[in-house]
Chains A and B, each alone.
Chain A
Amino acid sequence: MSAGTYTPRPGAAPLPRMIAAQAALETRMLLRNGEQLLLTVVIPALLLVLFSAVDIIDTGAGEPVDFLAPGVLALAVMSTAFTGQAIATGFERRYGVLKRLGASPLPRWGLMAAKTLSVLVTEVLQVALLTVIAFALGWAPEGNPLAVLLLLLLGTVAFSGLGLLMAGTLKAEATLAAANLVFLLLLVGGGVIVPLDRFPDAAQSVLGLLPISALSDGLRDVLQHGTAMPWADAAVLAVWAVLGLGAAARFFRWE
């Protein structure tokens, strides 16, 4: 490189360009990661196909796919916004990526905005794929798509807050283990594929307050039963969103 190559000419790129670049990179990192794809795409799709085709679980009246599709959509949101984001962000923190980006022109809130965008892009891909599979299995959804969209967004915010809280406070290895464990527990106990009414009454009232239960139950109310807007479930998600994001903002450590 010739003389004058390094002559200072500092400056930040325009903010939208920085955020777009960051979101694109985060999405590429996620799609390149095999374990993440297993969690976000393969497992939800397999569960949908398997339990729709094979009558293992009594999903109540109606076609199994009409019960399962909303639950699997909720699971997809949880896998990306919570589990995937927690694990990825935990390791970024551990490997100094968050620290290094903290010295770049990209502001911290810009980094968080990019992460959110990346989560949303991934979710769009997941929802598109799972919807196609569900239709192929004979899914006949009801309800208002806007209500579905609102629930998915609320769920994303709630799970993102909890995922970032975990990533920003625990060690990366602990986050990896805990995020996977929570994923599994909520998959079983959150009304995703097993109806909540299979659990004892006392357990039901507690499990019903989990974000995954509120999301799967709310989506089911709209998509299976045609409810206009399940406000109680939306409220539960909103409370989780405020608590999770609030705690993450307060306790998140960048290094």
Chain B
Amino acid sequence: MAALRAGPRPGRREGSEELGEPGAPDPSPASLDLPAMSSEPVVQARGLVKRYGTRTAVDGLDLEVAAGAVTAVLGPNGAGKTTTVETCEGYRRPDEGTVRVLGLDPVADAAALRPRIGVMLQSGGVYSGARADEMLRHMAKLHAHPLDVGALVERLGLGSCGRTTYRRLSGGQQQRLALAMAVVGRPELVFLDEPTAGLDPQARRSTWDLIRELRTDGVSVVLTTHFMDEAEALADDVAVIDAGRVIAQGSPEQLCRGGAENTLRFTGRPGLDLGSLLKALPDGSQADELTTGAYRIAGQIDPELLATVTSWCAQHGVMPEGIAVERHTLEDVFLELTGKELRA
């Protein structure tokens, strides 16, 4: 679990005077892998609590988002993803705790913050009688140095919408328009709330490509998703969120490596002396013959262990066939952390 950054503990609250300290070292091991880092996190939430009536949507959430990276806020429906993001966007006032976005208070400093961020809502946001290019052109006019609208329309495949008004666009077209509206003002930081929900696979790829281009050009991206593959494919950093808290954060590799043991499988002669094999393996490893001649080693599977297994096989005259190392996916990690299926 060494690479896992521990989630916040209940009751942990940090004073606001700690916020905004320039050059405070980021304790995140994940940040070491990130490209184009500046020392200042673009989002910093401490002890965030948000209640709706008696329901606590966000329950003491701590989150840091590194600049220039794609950060995925991953969790099941109802985990508090949208509330967290909408608090960062200035839509919600925290009941407790503090949020800073680009060093600013999203509510008090809204006028200064809004031109610098791009927002994609989970749905809606467009006049039902407006055409796609018309709405995009309008958003462009609200910014000082917008992108070329025509090029953006082509890039997102919205050129075919023609004179169709928003209410008659397909769900995918509406999603892509919302994404375009988030980036047209050339923001430093974009918040994308479930950017690929309801997209067909091709449109999904195209959205992923655009998000990667944003990162390449130095835009920080925060996206929420309940798709594991999306987080694995896109994100430099993943914050796993459940019941209103960040329960783990790190790069997908770190989460998968640290969060669960991996397995090595091979087949060979039945009835191998697993006791002798286990003696050669590091402490904590497990070896089983699952079915006749099918073996599974569980533990920290690294190159050294693989070499140990194959040389033990050589010493015992065994040809290990079909050797496969199974990496745990974020899906497994999530299941292990929460005991829940992500899409349950």
Contact = CB atoms under 8 A, between A and B. Distances in A.
B139 A104 contact: yes
A104 to B, nearest CB: 5
Interface in A78-132: 91-92, 95-97, 99-100, 102-107
A105 B90 contact: no
Contacts of B125: 95-97, 99-100
User: Which of the listed residues A17, A32, A91, A97 has the most CB atoms from chain B within 10 Å of its own CB?
Assistant: A97
A10 B119 contact: no
Given A25-B130, A29-B127, A255-B91, A9 B219 contact: no
Nearest to A21: B141
A7 B121 contact: no
A232 interface: no
A92 B127 contact: yes
Interface stretch (B12-20, B48-56, B180-188): B180-188
B216 interface: yes
Given A4-B217, A107-B111, A13 B117 contact: no
Contacts of B126: 95, 97, 100
Interface string B103-120: 000000001001111010
- Greatest chain B CB density within 10 A among A8, A105, A255 is at A8
Given A96-B124, A99-B121, A29 B129 contact: yes
B269 interface: no
A3 interface: yes
A18 B124 contact: no
A104 B127 contact: no
Contacts of B121: 96, 99-100
| Overall SS of chain A's interface | loop
Interface in B229-249: none
B213 A12 contact: no
Interface in A25-44: 25, 28-29, 32-33
A15 to B, nearest CB: 10
A96 B187 contact: no
Given A6-B147, A95-B126, A104-B139, A12 B115 contact: yes
Contacts of B117: 103
B142 A18 contact: yes
A100 B124 contact: yes
Contact of A106 (B91, B142, B183, B213): B142
A1 B116 CA distance: 21
Contacts of A103: 89-91, 114, 117, 119
A5 B213 contact: yes
Nearest to A10: B116
B2 interface: no
Contact of B114 (A1, A25, A29, A104): A104
A97 B213 contact: no
A11 interface: yes
Given A100-B121, A103-B117, A255-B91, A6 B214 contact: yes
Given A10-B187, A11-B145, A18-B142, A95 B128 contact: yes
Contact of B181 (A95, A100, A107): A100
Contacts of A8: 116, 186-188, 217-219
Contacts of B185: 10, 104-105
B129 A32 contact: yes
B155 A1 contact: yes
A3 B217 contact: yes
Nearest to A103: B119
- B142, B216, B218: most-surrounded residue (chain A CB, <10 A): B142
A12 B115 CA distance: 5
Contacts of A21: 138, 141-142
A103 B189 CA distance: 13
Interface string A150-167: 000000000000000000
B143 interface: yes
B144 interface: yes
A27 to B, nearest CB: 12
B308 interface: no
B124 A25 contact: no
B77 interface: no
A236 B111 CA distance: 37
Contacts of A107: 111
Contacts of B145: 9-11
Given A1-B213, A3-B217, A107-B111, A96 B123 contact: yes
15 contacts: A5-B213, A7-B186, A8-B116, A10-B186, A11-B144, A33-B129, A95-B125, A95-B127, A96-B121, A96-B124, A99-B91, A99-B125, A100-B119, A104-B139, A105-B143
Given A17-B141, A103-B91, 7 more contacts: A9-B144, A21-B142, A25-B127, A100-B121, A103-B90, A104-B185, A105-B114
Interface of B: 89-91, 111, 114-117, 119, 121, 123-130, 134, 138-139, 141-145, 147, 151-152, 155, 181, 183, 185-188, 213-214, 216-219
